[in-house]
Amino acid sequence: MDHSTRESKANIAKDRTGRFDLSNNTVCTLKISTNEKGDDGKLLDIAQRARSDISVLNLNNSSIVFNGPIDDHSHTLHIGSGKPDTPAVYNATGDAKIYFNTEWSDGTAIADQKTDRLLIDGDVSGTTAVYVTGRLEENNVLK
């Protein structure tokens, strides 16, 4: 995508060959699907709808933005297959940015934390500016 805005949820085939090339100030907003259905026509579980999977992400002067949570579920973006001898699966050039949402959750089990996640299963290259928007409770702020 080149100099565009897109809202999406990405799921690739089981062979994990989906590739996103974002460039020239493209903004891709990841959203949790509210109506994605499985092969049986039934609404998928929220955990499945809150996950996007791609094999390669090239981010050139562009941004990935995690949309807010749905029903207290945050979004997970999984990049890469973890296969050995694979070239870098996340490549950042220029002004690459990723925006996360989080809620302070000191001591909460990982599965119960309300935070967007980026899982990269492979090599990376480049530099990315990371922005975090969150809600801090008064007792969680250092004085």
- Which carries the bigger pLDDT value, residue 32 or residue 6? 32
Q: How far is CA 143 from CA 26, 59, 139, in A?
A: 39, 37, 9
In a domain, 142, yes or no: no
Domain that holds residue 107: 5-136
pTM: 0.80
Structural domains of the chain, count: 1
In a domain, 108, yes or no: yes
Residue 13 pLDDT > 50: no
In a domain, 143, yes or no: no
Cα separation, 39 vs 77, in Å, equals 22
